[in-house]
Amino acid sequence: MAGSCLQDPECRRRVYRVEDLEVYYLHMQPAVIKDVLLDIVMFPVWWYSRGLILMLRRAADTLKGYAKYMAIGVWIQNMFVPMFGQHDWQSRLISIFMRLVQIVGRSFGLMIIAIMVIGALGLYITLPIFLCLQAAYHVIGSFMYVS
Amino acid sequence: MSPDVSDLIMQQSSHDSDEGSIPGVLVDGAFWYWQRPIDEASLDFASSLRSARKFERYAAGALGLGLFGVFALGTALVHAADVLTLDFWTTPSWTAAAIYLAILSWLFVPYRLASDHRKYLSLQQLGTTIAPELSSIPSPAAVERRHDIADAADAEALQAIEEAYRLALRSSHADVNALHLFTASLATTPVQILFARLGLAFDDIRDPLRRRFSTVKQGTTVFGSQAHGLLAKALYGAMINHRASLSALDIFVAAFEAEPFLTELFASKAITPEELDNVVAWLRISDDLRQRYQAFRKAAAYKPTSNMNRSMTAVATPFLDSVSYDLTRAAVMGQTGLLVGRDTEMANILRAIEGGDQSVILVGQPGVGKEALIDGLADLMVEERVPEVLQDKRLLKLSVPHIVSAEGGTGAEERCLFALNQVAHAGNIILVIENIHELVGQGTGLDLASILAGELNRGYTFVIATTTPQAYAEVIERSVISPKLQKITIDEPNRNDAIRILEAKAGVLENKHQVIFTYAALAAAVDLSTRYMHDIALPEKALELIKEVALVVSKRGEKPAWVRKEDVATLLSERTRIPVTEVSQGEGEKLLHLEERVHERVIGQEPAVKAVAAALRRARTELRSGKRPIANFLFLGPTGVGKTELAKATAEVYFGNEQAMIRFDMSEYQDQNSITRLIGSNGQAGLMTEAVRKNPFCLLLLDELEKAHPDILNLFLQVMDDGRLTDGIGRTVDFTNLILIATSNAGTQFIQDQVAAGTALESIKQALLDTELRTTYRPEFLNRFDDVIVFAPLTLEDVVAIAYLMIVKVVERLKAKGIEFSVTDAAIHELAEQGYDPKFGARPLRRVIQEKVENPIADYLLKGQVSRRDTLIFDQGGKIILQKAPEL
């Protein structure tokens, strides 16, 4: 019965809509199977090509956002402009000192964030390899243990 | 079984080149055309591929779960003791392998999702400077860079395209055409929303659509160049409207435009292409707003909300903060609405600020959106999409009342100076002063404007001020501050822009009140408020209206409740007492029998009544010109023939109330100065303009027009022509919703003589217009009247009929006291004869009835001879018979 439905386009269409699961079962044409297999093979390729680019882009966006938030450039630009509109020389001195502290502090903060972002990237790159190696080690090891 | 995809592309291409050329869109050096094959086999293939993809996702997830189950089970049963030891993880075991493999399978899911979501190319990333153009190429090889339109289409658009093909296939139509694409797109979300907004259901168009389908050529279904051309047009539409992708809505629009039948079909449902355009724009606006809002929220996270700027060079401004409102902070908090349109005005403001002449003044009527523009500027400052002078600055709105009225008004100058000082100190503040005219010439001798002008001269800051055109002309232009402020005029948006602003604002109201606006409701809000509300400008007045309508409709309890055109009209009718709802069946009936209703009050004067009734019918069915009063009439004739009575009857019949009449006796306006009494001058409102402004929907009766000063006649010349007047305060008063009736006794003697000589009324009128009236009125003045109506002197029969009417009134008054009253016919004829005077019409009749009928009855009442339930009979010779009622 399943076979006859495959031959009849009207029946096939009906089946697509009503029972998705049945479709997987019924309609695994060779071309589709080929495509699915290709898709699985493409998984690691995608991970280290387009997927990696996406991740890099996201990491860059995150870093850019935090850099804007910390506004270190603004602080450097205004290095010698007194804070809070206090123009006497004492205030200027304190201001320069405060700005230095701010710049150092903010740079440090940004650095930590950068390290975290890079760490996440590193995890993205190494995780599948690590998982594969570990899985292989345990599977092969278990086989050897059994034998 | 299934043909190879690349083969299909080859087939498709060769098919296209057979037909000569491939339609597509050329943009930025790349040619976009439809490449994906659409036929049964490839659709089936694509469909099973989609299912397979879905299956992969679920299978990977399920596999991961299963493996995790194995790991959990293994841990629980075997490795409970050593799972946390290094030993467990370094010694090979199936349990450890399971968890690694589980995570690996789960990683497959984001891969599948991510590569599915990257389905379409973002059109917005294309170079926007280069305008796309529709074109065609002989073969794919003719261009170097090619794109598939399918890659730019979103899922629903692809679904609609496939469905269009299937639709054609099911009906064995030879070619997939606009009708198929149109019908297929109806099932998609955006088009369904579009239909809902239009107040249209699929059932409304199903039958004509089906009939049309039956005429399509039969054959083997091909997704050919016709469909390809349409999709190219759809893509072109998406590109020029800056869409991110090709959506089902774009396909709908392209199909609609390509098929004249569809235009006709929609027109038969009272939907014009322009309306459809506006609704499509509405959907796109909502889309854009969502995107803009997301981008704005993202940017807002980087804007400081304290009164410090990023470089901390600013100074705390405690006093200023207490007398102002921080607009940039409000914008970061999301308290300002997004600005819609107004690109030119915003560019003007930014240019003025950037180009030296920094301070600006926005001049516009109340309600045109000056505040919205300033809010929009605050938004731009939050996103830092502004010229450098505005970057990293705060926009503060100075509260003039706080400055002026604190401490009973004393020390306002000091407070103003102090606030400005803080602005100078802080260096990161831009001041907004709304209604700056309130600062100027406060009467009490203090002039804050000169202080402000002095400070602006020092050049440390600049202000953005607002005012109205009247105040600008009267106050600002003459004040010292005027040269410092660059004027930017904010005009009322036109109809379409106003509708689009409402479309943008409707979403918030819809959420708040759980209602849904139809397009017709928004359009009606703009149209009706333009016509009937004149105190504030668009878009504010239309916004007020839809806010109120949303509230009213939400109270009905339906969920979701639809706001329709009728709801807007009903609300406006209630507010202005103008009948703006569509003419109902009952009212239509009433309008058709207007003459009879008027004749219940007015006896004779057939031509006059007919002319008035016809004018009223024209007005109510919207056939009249909207730029003049509903009707202008000149009633000519001797006194007492019913001129004023007809005016009153008209007011009662059309405006529902005899009191809906503004009456001016023009004999009181005989000298030239009286013109100022009518329209006001020097900041004072006039008697007539004020009356009409407060009650724009009424009858304006000008008695004895011939006595008015000639200049006043010129004034009415303008009223009759333009339907408006400007009063002494500078407000435009609308006269388009009233009926203007002027009565005149000019030429009375002539009329009486001619009627006595038996001349027809029509020739009398002509003679009057040609000769008699020339001495009183100028020809162009007479020409402005819709009709000059000559009232014939009353005949004795008319007076008898009037006597009946007057007696009925006496009867009614006595009935209120519980006393029956009747008059014999002979007595009425007698009264009429006594009261008939060819010179004075029916006027003496009233006196006769008073003397002969009402006075004796009053005596009866005072003497207590007549009491409740008794009957009085008035007979010939002034005899009154009293019939006592039996005792209770």
- Answer with the one of B264, B288, B312 that is the final residue of a domain: B288
* Widest distance between CA atoms in chain B: 136
Report residue B117's pLDDT band, with 50, 70 and 90 as the boundaries. Answer: low
Q: What are phi and psi of B684, to 5 degrees?
A: -110, 140
Answer yes or no: is B660 within a domain. yes
* Angstroms from B48 CA to nearest CA on chain A: 7
pLDDT score of A25:
46
Q: What are phi and psi of B381, to 5 degrees?
A: -65, -35
Beta bridge mates, B362: B466, B488
Average pLDDT, chain B: 84
Nearest CA in chain A to B2: A31
The band of B758, judged by pLDDT with boundaries at 50, 70 and 90, is confident
Compute the average pLDDT of residues B473-501.
Answer: 86
Name which residue leads in pLDDT, B486 or B406. Answer: B486
pLDDT, tens only, B381-406: 888 888 888 888 889 998 888 887 76
The rounded distance, in Å, linking the Cα atoms of A59 and A68 is 14
Query: B315 and B417: one domain?
Result: yes
pLDDT-derived band at B3 (thresholds 50, 70, 90) equals: very low
Give one word for A5, left, alpha or beta, with left for phi > 0 and alpha for psi -120 to 50. Answer: alpha
* Cβ-Cβ contacts under 8 Å, B118 against chain A: 50
Q: The tokens 């498709």 sit on which residue?
A: B12
Examine residue B144 and state whether it is found in any structural domain, yes or no.
Answer: no
Nearest to A135 among B2, B101, B111 (CB): B101
Which tops the pLDDT comparison, B145 or A130? A130
Model confidence band, residue B11 (pLDDT cutoffs 50, 70, 90) = very low
Judged by CB atoms closer than 8 Å, whether chains meet at B312 and A137 is answered as no
**Is the same domain home to B177 and B239?**
yes
The CATH number linked to B660 is: 3.40.50.300
Whole-angstrom CA distances from B393 to A64, B255, B310, B670 are: 22, 49, 9, 62
pLDDT at A20: 46
Mutate to test the interface with A, among B53, B307, B313, B461 (most CBs of A within 10 A): B313
Last residue of a domain, one of B288, B320, B354: B288
Instruction: Phi first, then psi: give them for residue B489, nearest 5 degrees.
Output: -85, 130
Same domain, B284 and B166: yes
Mean pLDDT, rounded, for B318-343: 84
ipTM here: 0.76
Q: Measure the CA–CA gap between B369 and B523, rounded to whole angstroms.
A: 19
The alpha carbon of residue B684 is apart from the nearest alpha carbon of chain A, in Å, by 51
Would you say residue B165 has pLDDT above 60? Answer: yes
Q: Is the dihedral of CA B137, B138, B142, B144 positive or negative?
A: positive
B362 and B440 fall within a common domain = yes
Dihedrals phi, psi of B129, to nearest 5 degrees: -75, -25
How many CB atoms sit inside 10 A of residue B880's CB? 18
**Closest approach of chain B CAs to the CA of A24, in angstroms?**
6
Q: What is the reported pLDDT for A24? A: 45
- Distance from first CA to last CA of chain A, Å, rounded? 46
Which are the contacts of B856, defined by CB distance < 8 A and separation ≥ 6?
Answer: B878, B880
Q: What is the structure's pLDDT at A116? A: 95
Domain boundaries, chain A: 1-41, 49-146
Residue B14 has pLDDT above 70, yes or no: no
Backbone angles phi, psi at B487, to 5 degrees: -80, 130
Residues pairing with B175 in the sheet = B222
Tens digit of each residue's pLDDT (9 = 90 or more) over B245-286: 899 999 999 999 999 999 999 999 888 898 898 899 889 888
Q: Who has greater pLDDT, A5 or B750? A: B750
Give the nearest partner residue to A78 out of B53, B311, B315, using CB atoms: B311
pLDDT at B685: 81
Q: Where a domain ends, among B745, B772, B790?
A: B790
Of B40, B51, B94, the CB nearest to A9: B40
Q: Which residues of A touch B111 (CB under 8 A)?
A: 43, 46-47, 51
Q: Which of B52, B103, B104 sits opposite A32 (nearest CB)?
A: B52
Q: What is the pLDDT of residue B878?
A: 80
Per-residue model confidence (pLDDT) at position B481? 83
pLDDT for residue B603: 81
pLDDT for B883 equals 84
Q: Which pLDDT does position A13 carry in this prediction?
A: 52
Residues B209 and B342 in one domain: no
Which among A29, A77, A142 has CB closest to B2? A29
Q: What is the per-residue pLDDT for B180?
A: 94
Task: List phi, psi (to 5°) of B743.
Answer: -110, 150
CB contact under 8 A, B48 and A127: no
pLDDT at B526: 92
B130, part of any domain:
no
Q: A118 CA to chain B: closest CA distance, Å? A: 20
Number of structural domains in chain B: 6
Neighbour count for residue B311 (Cβ, 10 Å): 20
In a domain, B842, yes or no: yes
- Rounded CA gap, B826 and B875, in Å? 7
What's the confidence (pLDDT) of residue A117?
A: 94
Q: Please check the confidence at residue B581 and state whether its pLDDT lies above 80.
A: no
Q: Residue B194's pLDDT band (boundaries 50, 70, 90)?
A: very high
Beta bridge partners of B820: B871
Co-location of B202 and B279 in the same domain = yes
State the pLDDT at residue A60: 93
What digits encode the pLDDT tens for the residues B81-102?
888 888 888 888 889 999 999 9
List CB contacts of B733: < 8 A, sequence separation 6 or more.
Answer: B534, B689, B692, B693, B696, B724, B725, B726, B727
Note whether residue B112 is domain-resident: yes
A46 to chain B nearest CA, in Å?
Answer: 8
Q: Report the pLDDT value the prediction gives residue B181, as an integer from 0 to 100.
A: 94
The predicted structure's pLDDT at residue B125: 62
Q: Which residue of B has its CA nearest to A128?
A: B104
Q: Quick one: pLDDT at residue B594?
A: 81
pLDDT at B444 exceeding the cut of 60: no
Judgement on whether residues B169 and B269 belong to the same structural domain of the protein: yes
| Record: contact B100-A138, CB cut-off 8 A | yes
List, for residues B207-237, the tens digit of each pLDDT value: 999 999 999 999 888 898 899 999 999 999 9
Write down the pLDDT at residue B8: 40
CA B5 to chain centre: 52
| pLDDT at residue B525 in the model | 92
Residue of A nearest to B92 (CA): A138
The pLDDT assigned to B6 comes to: 41
B119 contacts in A (CB within 8 Å)?
A: none
- Cis ω on the peptide bond leading into residue B560 (within 30° of 0)? yes
pLDDT of residue B130: 67
Same domain, B377 and B472: yes
8 Å CB contact of B97 and A74: no
Predicted confidence at residue B701, as pLDDT, reads 93
Q: Are residues B362 and B483 in the same domain?
A: yes
Quick check: is B633 in a domain? yes
pLDDT at B644: 86
User: Which among B51, B96, B104 has the least Cβ separation from residue A132?
Assistant: B104
Q: Decide if B76 is inside a domain.
A: yes
Sign of CA dihedral B61, B67, B69, B72: negative
Q: Is the peptide bond before B539 cis (omega within 30 degrees of 0)?
A: yes
Which stretches of chain A drop beneath a pLDDT of 70?
A: 1-29, 146-147
pLDDT at B638 over 80: yes
pLDDT above 70 covers a percentage of chain B that reads 92
* Closest chain A C-alpha to B192 CA, distance in angstroms: 21
| CA distance, residue B248 to nearest chain A CA (Å) | 20
Contact residues, chain A, for B103 at CB < 8 Å = 127, 131
Q: Is the per-residue pLDDT at B342 higher than 60? A: yes
Residues from chain B that touch A55, judged by Cβ atoms under 8 A, are: none
Q: Which of B649, B607, B601 is nearest to B761 (CA)?
A: B607
Closest Cα in chain A to B67? A135
Strands B879-883, B871-875: pairing kind: antiparallel
Distance CA A47, CA B107 (A): 9
Determine if residue B680 is left, alpha or beta; phi over 0 gives left, psi from -120 to 50 gives alpha, anything else beta. left
DSSP per residue over B490-532, as a string? -PPP-HHHHHHHHHHHHHHHHHHHTEEE-HHHHHHHHHHHHHH
Q: Do A16 and B51 touch (CB under 8 A)?
A: yes
Residue B585 is predicted with a pLDDT of: 59
Kindly report the backbone phi and psi dihedral angles of residue B661, in degrees, each rounded to the nearest multiple of 5, phi listed first: -140, 130
Q: How many CB pairs under 8 A join A and B?
A: 123
Same domain, B475 and B354: yes
| pLDDT tens-place string over residues B837-884 | 777 777 788 888 888 888 888 888 888 888 888 888 888 888 888 888
Region B606-625 average pLDDT: 78
Q: Which amino acid is at B620?
A: R
Confidence (pLDDT) at B65: 95
Cβ contacts (< 8 Å) between A137 and chain B: which residues? 92
The shortest C-alpha distance from B104 to chain A (Å) reads: 7
- Please count the CA atoms within 13 angstroms of the CA of B405 that sit on its side-chain side: 5
| Chain B residue nearest residue A37, CA to CA | B56
| Segments forming the whole domain that contains residue B473 | 302-489
Closest-CA residue of A relative to B317 is A84
Q: Are residues B822 and B746 in the same domain?
A: no
Q: Based on the domain organization, do B434 and B313 belong to the same domain?
A: yes
Residues of B in contact with A140 (CB under 8 A): 92
Average pLDDT on B404-418 reads 76
In which band, very low, low, confident or very high, does the pLDDT at B126 lie, cut at 50, 70 and 90? Answer: low
Distances (CA, A) of B52 to A46, A127, B43, B448: 18, 27, 14, 75
Residue B407: its pLDDT value, please? 67
